[in-house]
Amino acid sequence: MKIKVTSPGRVNLIGEHTDYNGGYVLPCALDLTIKLFIEKKSNESYVKTDLGYSMSFDVNTTLKKSNNHWENYVLGVINELKQIKFKLSNFSCSIISTLPSGAGISSSSALVCGLIKGLSKLNEIKLENSEIINLSRNVEHKYIGLLGGIMDQFTILNAKKNTAILLDCEKLDSKFIKLEFKEYKLLLLDTNVKHNLANTEYNQRVSECKESMQIINKLCKKNYTNLSQVNRLDLSLSKEKLEGTLYKRASYVFNENQRVINSVEFLKNNKLKEFGQLMYESHFGLKNDYEVSCKELDFLVEYSMNYDQILGSRMMGGGFGGCTLSLIKDSLIDKFIKEIKQEYFSKFKRKLNPIIANLDQGIQMSLI
Ligand code: GLA
């Protein structure tokens, strides 16, 4: 039995850094994927990627963290599965990817969810999607040290073609929103920047949000369990106590949740221009209040504002690098890409990697 799993990347239309705050997000799956081909082996396990990396181990020995970053995703998945089933089968897994890594389009969650799906099938472990999400989050928290939310995993497991998911990350309630961008397309511009403090800064935002919520609870005598539950009145009553930075974080989260809800209404009513405006607002919130952008991302977004045919643009994902997402008129794409690549290179001496985002279905698994 050979198992094939096709696991997509994700784009997030709007709702950034709201998932771990129990808020709203509006993500979709990409047509760029990681394919995993998995089968049983008797003595040893072997994982190889099309980039020439490989690793081997025996699943039933103690597996310690590796110095090679990507290997920890694999080791983390195996260790987490071993908590459910004590003895696993050795396997071979070959990985073929069209999904760039480090671009903020969730290649790591695509790999982790794909591996969990394939290895649980191979070992006859029955897992609900919610359990896969939890396992995958544990891998990120424990083996990678990133205290991420569940947006990426939920999207990878549940997405439908040309559809966004309005997800309430606290209740895990979701609604599918059919998308029609007509003569507009989603364009990703990968900065090729990966800030090496990204994980630390990300985790710091997670704790700043927790701290803000605790201060608001104490001051307003409330029992909020996440920052997204805080209402406008309590937020403004707490402004002074939150002092500068924490107030900026908390008000960003409040505003971004509102923007997601408003975006859904605009998208349902084909008001693309209004939706695009919210993308810009989201970007400036992330830049000024949440402070997770960087000069390369800001440059790309600000440059987009020169064009009426670009309705909106913003940094996407965790930030500190990765890519921007823009809603751009079809007829402008070629010219714009050519121009911005040159401008970007002359300013930052880096290559810009453009990707047209076609939206596709979630994870698929088959026996071949
Ligand atoms: C990363 C995390 C997600 C989410 C985004 C920001 O992609 O993995 O859980 O927090 O950042 O919206």
- Looking at the CA of residue 149, tell me the nearest atom of ligand 1: 9
**Percent of the chain clearing pLDDT 90 (strictly above):** 98
Among 192, 194, 180, residue whose Cα is nearest residue 354? 192
Give me the pLDDT at residue 6, please.
98
Between the alpha carbon of residue 101 and those of residues 52, 170, 347, 351, 353, the distances in Å are: 14, 28, 23, 15, 12
Residue 20, ligand 1, Cβ within 6 A: yes
Give me the pLDDT at residue 208, please.
98
Which of 10, 19, 138 for mutating ligand 1's site (highest number of atoms within 8 Å of CB)? 19
Among 125, 55, 126, residue whose Cα is nearest residue 88? 125
Give me the pLDDT at residue 341, please.
98
135 token code pair: 């396992």
Residue keyed to tokens 């890409």: 337
Distance (Å) from CA 20 to ligand 1 centroid: 8
- Predicted confidence band of residue 117 (pLDDT cuts 50, 70, 90): very high
b/e map 159-171, b = 16+ CB within 10 Å? beeebbbbbbbee
- Give nearest CA residue, ligand 1 atom 11: 318
Per-residue pLDDT averaged across 342-361, rounded?
A: 98
Residue 17, ligand 1, Cβ within 6 A: yes
The answer as to whether 18 is a domain residue is yes
Query: Are the C-beta atoms of residues 67 and 21 closer than 8 Å to each other?
Result: no
The string of pLDDT tens digits covering residues 178-216 is 999 999 999 999 999 987 778 999 999 999 999 999 999
Give me the pLDDT at residue 196, please.
77
Cα separation, 18 vs 173, in Å, equals 15
- Looking at the CA of residue 20, tell me the nearest atom of ligand 1: 10
Per-residue pLDDT averaged across 159-171, rounded?
A: 98
The parent domain of residue 91 ranges over 2-178+361-367
Residue 10, ligand 1, Cβ within 6 A: no
The enclosing domain of 102 has a CATH number of: 3.30.230.10
b/e map 203-223, b = 16+ CB within 10 Å? eebbebbebbbebbbeebeee
Give me the pLDDT at residue 297, please.
98
- Residue 128, Cβ neighbours under 10 Å: how many? 9
CA quadruple 45, 49, 52, 56: dihedral, nearest 10: -10
Give me the pLDDT at residue 195, please.
79
The string of pLDDT tens digits covering residues 75-93 is 999 999 999 998 999 999 9
Residue 289, ligand 1, Cβ within 6 A: no
The string of pLDDT tens digits covering residues 30-63 is 999 999 999 999 999 999 999 999 999 999 999 9
The answer as to whether 39 is a domain residue is yes
- Give nearest CA residue, ligand 1 atom 2: 148
DSSP 227: G
The answer as to whether 274 is a domain residue is no
Residue 318, ligand 1, Cβ within 6 A: yes
The answer as to whether 186 is a domain residue is no
Distance (Å) from CA 204 to ligand 1 centroid: 13
Distance (Å) from CA 362 to ligand 1 centroid: 18
The string of pLDDT tens digits covering residues 229-275 is 999 999 999 999 998 999 999 999 999 999 999 999 999 999 999 99
Average pLDDT, the chain: 97
Instruction: Please tell me whether the overall predicted TM-score, pTM, comes out greater than 0.75 for this model.
Output: yes
Residue 256, ligand 1, Cβ within 6 A: no
Distance (Å) from CA 263 to ligand 1 centroid: 19
354 token code pair: 């453009």
Overall domain count for the chain: 1
Active centre residues (catalytic)? 152
Residue 15, ligand 1, Cβ within 6 A: no
Give me the pLDDT at residue 1, please.
87
- Looking at the CA of residue 16, tell me the nearest atom of ligand 1: 12
- Looking at the CA of residue 108, tell me the nearest atom of ligand 1: 8
The answer as to whether 51 is a domain residue is yes
Give me the pLDDT at residue 92, please.
98
Distance (Å) from CA 2 to ligand 1 centroid: 32
The answer as to whether 192 is a domain residue is no
The answer as to whether 279 is a domain residue is no
Between the alpha carbon of residue 269 and those of residues 180, 234, 279, 341, the distances in Å are: 10, 32, 16, 33
Residue 151, ligand 1, Cβ within 6 A: yes
Look at the chain and count its residues: 368
Give me the pLDDT at residue 129, please.
97
Q: Could you list the beta-strand ranges (E) of the chain.
A: 2-12, 24-25, 27-40, 45-49, 54-57, 91-97, 163-168, 173-178, 184-194, 310-316, 321-329, 353-357, 359-360, 364-367
**Beta-strand pair 45-49/91-97:** parallel
The answer as to whether 48 is a domain residue is yes
Give me the pLDDT at residue 146, please.
95
